[in-house]
Amino acid sequence: MSYSAFHHVDGVLHAEGVSAIALADQFGTPLYVYSRAALTHAYEAYARACAQRRASVHVAVKANSNLAVLNVFARLGAGFDIVSGGELARVLAAGGKPANIVFSGVGKSADEMREALAAGVKCFNVESIPELDRLDEVARAVGKKAPVSLRVNPDVDPKTHPYISTGLKANKFGVAFDEARAAYRRAATMPHLDVIGIDCHIGSQITEVSPYLDAVDKLLELVEQIEADGTMLHHIDVGGGLGITYDDETPPDTTLFVRTLLDRIEARGHGHREVFFEPGRSVTGNAGMLLTRVEFLKPGAEKNFAIVDAAMNDLARPAMYQAFHAIEPVTSRPDAPRVYDVVGPICESGDWLGRDRSLAIAPGDLLAIRSAGAYGFVMSSNYNTRPRAAEVMVDGDCAYLVRARETVRELFASETLLPE
């Protein structure tokens, strides 16, 4: 049974030592709630498995980029995996060390490259030949040498949703496996690049170890070919993507997962290299929930609707991926449950948060949408001119506002009317 900081006390859902009712009363809804204890527990499972091994953890910022969340990880000694200049600025503001930052992403601009070189990031994960050319030129212009690994697409099926599969031939990410050796030869000739590693990332919400082992085996074969060509590689980045339990998924235990991959790398004779892990969802997903209040119950001929004050702009995953999130009342009622589609106020038929849920609820009740700590607030928008939710971090018996709720006026403060 996985650790959870969310539990019921006298019939009321709590986040650590704080009642969800008290959180909603103090901070309003919709409200993202994170548990510091859950974030810490999830990260330390990786850190313990990497201890005494040549391995390090770089948290994927794209899963949850709130400064307080990043600061929790920074205090624990985490490195970070970023995909934009904005994420670089966030990590630095949260206390992350530049020397522990890996810069991934397919479309790095010249400005972002300059910012990362100036900060002194650990490595650029480069995803194409044109990006190699650009990085070499930018590094030359600023008088630096850029540390580089190439993200190789191993064409391994991660057995996940097609939108979050990233390691197949049809995906936009990485250098094709068959072209990677030649790409490394070319990179080695560029005077302002320092080729130091190899990288892959095959997808997200992966619940089996076997796709990772397949990818590692292919990477290690390629490493041996690259080194035969004269380029020595110091690290292997196996990416992230380990899944969590949203409903009935059974992802592998984190410690077992990490040790299985490290054991395979060592058994293949590559234990002298450092191994990078880049967890995102698996360290943040089940450390957060989204609180929302029922506005109306609307019976229909074919469907009953529970209309709540959260919407697809607050949590995009159900509409985007048909993703499942458990939804439960914060307090239980003795009434017989009815089956509802839980939907928001957005003017779109696709605005739903859960379908066919059996719930005993009334207008005004609070619902908790679970497993919302990853790809929740970070993917939210202002569609229909809706202010984004507030974010709160619970630490024991204390709750801290870590992002204030937006106001409507803030949404158009930077816009102007045409002159008369």
List per-residue pLDDT tens for the chain, 420 residues long: 357 899 999 999 999 999 999 999 999 999 999 999 999 999 999 999 999 999 999 999 999 999 999 999 999 999 999 999 999 999 999 999 999 999 999 999 999 999 999 999 999 999 999 999 999 999 999 999 999 999 998 888 765 545 444 444 556 678 999 999 999 999 999 999 999 999 999 888 999 999 999 999 999 999 999 999 999 999 999 999 999 999 999 999 999 999 999 999 999 999 999 999 999 999 999 999 999 999 999 998 899 999 999 999 999 999 999 999 999 999 999 999 999 999 999 999 999 999 999 999 999 999 999 999 999 999 999 999 999 999 999 999 999 999 999 999 999 999 999 999
Give the pLDDT confidence score for residue 93 in this predicted structure.
Answer: 98
The first and second tokens of residue 399, run together, are 């709750």
Give the pLDDT confidence score for residue 295 in this predicted structure.
Answer: 98
CA 47-50-52 angle, 5° bins: 115
Residue whose token pair is 């980045």? 237
Give the pLDDT confidence score for residue 3 in this predicted structure.
Answer: 73
Give the pLDDT confidence score for residue 161 in this predicted structure.
Answer: 41
Give the residue ranges of DSSP H helices in 209-366.
210-228, 254-267, 281-284, 317-321
Domains of the chain and any CATH numbers:
6-34+285-411 (2.40.37.10), 36-283 (3.20.20.10)
Q: Across the strands, what pairs with 81?
A: 60, 102
Taking Cα atoms as reference points, which of 34, 8, 30, 5 lies closest to residue 399? 34
Give the DSSP H/E element, type plus range, for residue 392.
strand 390-395
| HSE toward the beta carbon, residue 250, CA cutoff 13 A | 1
pTM: 0.94
Tell me the percentage of the chain whose pLDDT exceeds 90: 91
Q: How far apart are CA 185 and CA 365, in angstroms?
A: 62
Taking Cα atoms as reference points, which of 402, 394, 404 lies closest to residue 7? 394
Query: Among all residues, which ones are annotated catalytic?
Result: 347
Q: How far apart are CA 239 and CA 200, in angstroms?
A: 6
Give the pLDDT confidence score for residue 158 in this predicted structure.
Answer: 61
Q: How, if at all, do strands 79-82 and 55-60 pair?
A: parallel
Give the pLDDT confidence score for residue 167 in this predicted structure.
Answer: 42
